[in-house]
Structure 1
Amino acid sequence: MGKIIVCPVVIAAYSKNETLFQLTENQKLCHFFAFCMTFFSLAPTLILLAMAVDCWLALAYPFTYQRHITNKFGLMVPVAACIFSLGFCSLPFFGIGRFVQYCPGTWCFIEMTMRDSALGDRIYSMLYGTIMGLIVLAIIFFNVAIMRHLYTMYRNNSMRIIVRANVGNKGMDGNQAQMKELDHLILLAVMTALFAVCSLPLTVSIHYIKVEYFIANLHMI
């Protein structure tokens, strides 16, 4: 949904060789674009974290998971993530944080610079970057934990297959379970790597800009 909403705006700006401000002669389109960028970055990331925690709980604590994690609770989690993201990403409309246009004028995002920006804008960008960074690190942590459990299951199944082969049992069911665990392990490893590569640069750059600004001010002092 985020790509469907945002991409046509960028294509229209490039096709007309105009900035987002020029397309509508005001800042409304830019603000809407920036809101979509922040919301559709934060909400899916929170849902991915919930999915990672869900999978980790199911593998690490299956009895606790079966007893306490219900379908109703599972449906409430993405709704809660979207409500939180909607409220947090709407703060710039109420004066906490600011949406700005970035070069070449075809995209807008929250104010990430420290120079000539209000205190509320600085706090909001730092808070957004910190929340995104913590969520990404948490996703990586839980995915690595899940991969460890899958590898343990894969190794245990390998041992069972060897034992069955020694006693004359072909162990076809064990082979199928082993391949499924291996498939999940490889898929999760690739997804974790891609997610980290795509998500971390923007989050790191937000903090890098702040640190660079503080260092420059210290040199001036």
Structure 2
Amino acid sequence: MEMMDFSDTGNLNESLSESIVPPILQGSFGIFGNLLALILLFCYSKSHKWGAFYKYVFALAITDLCGLLFHYPVAVTRYASNFEFDFPEKFCYFDVFLFSFSFLSSAMIVCAMSCDRLFAVRYPITYRRGNHKTKRVLLAVWIFSAIIASFPLLGFGSAKMYYPGTWCFINFASQRCLDRINTYVYSSLCLLILLITVIANTAVIYSICKYDKQDCIISNDFERRRRKNDETYIVTLMLSIVIVFSVCWIPLVVGT
């Protein structure tokens, strides 16, 4: 395991002007938002009946919530100690695993949601009759993300503490061969997932715009309108999630 790289962070104990308010607000909003999503999912479970899409939303909220709960207490402790509390090296590597796993698995879940919607819109009859195996997909996503996120723990890459010294992530700045390979693997994988997600959502929107071609399979006008409204609502939610992910991810993965 490589030692942590503290270059470019300066003297972290000099960051006395950093306010504790932003991380508390950021963590609180994130935790509250995910808890609210989980509460709404359970409150309206009778209407959505835990379809594949809503299972993905549940998994996405749980994944993000766990990442926040593990990271923010330690980060806030660092702020509260006036930056005198130092991260143990092992926790810094755990932080790298936590962020890498959370980012990657969340992106893959969003991608799976997009592909699920595409299949539901393009092949509605087959989709209703099929066994979607959502739990297996989620298990595969979490296992794969855990393997990729474990690379720095296995020496295939290293950790770097970033300003203001409250979080650690993959060492993108290192020129060491294994660090560069780990960086390119992670970044390329993230961009590929994002590309698939955008393509899938674009195809879903195109299919909904051409919805009249599929209306012949539904003779009831009320059922047709209800289904179209449901799909429009889900696609709107998906687009919002994809836009947020894109804004947060593109500067990180492209900058590497």
- Short-chain TM bin: 0.7 to 0.9
Shift of 1:140: 1.3
CA gap of 1:23–1:154, structure 2 versus 1, over 3 A, is: farther
In 2, are the aligned partners of 1:154 and 1:182 still within 8 Å (CA)? no
Separation in structure 2 between the aligned mates of residue 37 and residue 97 of structure 1, nearest angstrom: 15
1:88 equivalent to 2:148? Answer yes
Q: CA deviation at 1:181?
A: 3.9
Residues paired across the two proteins, number: 189
- Normalising by structure 1, we get a TM-score of 0.74
Q: Is the 8 A contact 2:110 2:242 kept in 1?
A: no
Is the CA contact (8 Å cut-off) linking 1:30 and 1:107 kept in structure 2? yes
Classify the secondary structure of the residue corresponding to 1:17: coil
What is residue 23 of structure 1 aligned with on the other side?
A: 86
Structure number with the higher helix fraction is 1
Gaps of 5+ in 1: 158-170, 207-221
Counterparts of 1:12-161 in structure 2, within 5 Å, are 12-18=77-83, 22-24=85-87, 26-66=88-128, 69-71=130-132, 73-114=133-174, 117-153=175-211
Any stretches of 5+ residues in structure 2 without a counterpart? 1-65, 216-220
Letter of the 1:134 partner, please give it. Answer: L
Q: Which has the larger radius of gyration?
A: 1
Q: Partners of 1:129 and 1:184 in 2: how far apart?
A: 28
Normalising by structure 2, report the TM-score: 0.65
* Equivalent residue number for residue 28 of structure 2: none
Decide whether aligned partners of structure 1 residues 47 and 189 sit closer, same or farther in structure 2, where only a CA change above 3 A counts. closer
- Ranked by relative contact order (alpha carbons within 8 Å, sequence separation 6 or more), the top structure is 2
Q: How many angstroms apart in 2 are the aligned matches of 1:196 and 1:135?
A: 11
1:154–1:181 contact (8 Å) kept in structure 2: no
CA distance in 2, matches of 1:149, 1:195: 23
Q: Identity percentage over the alignment?
A: 30
| 1:187 aligns to 2:237 (yes or no) | yes
What is aligned with 1:214? Answer: none
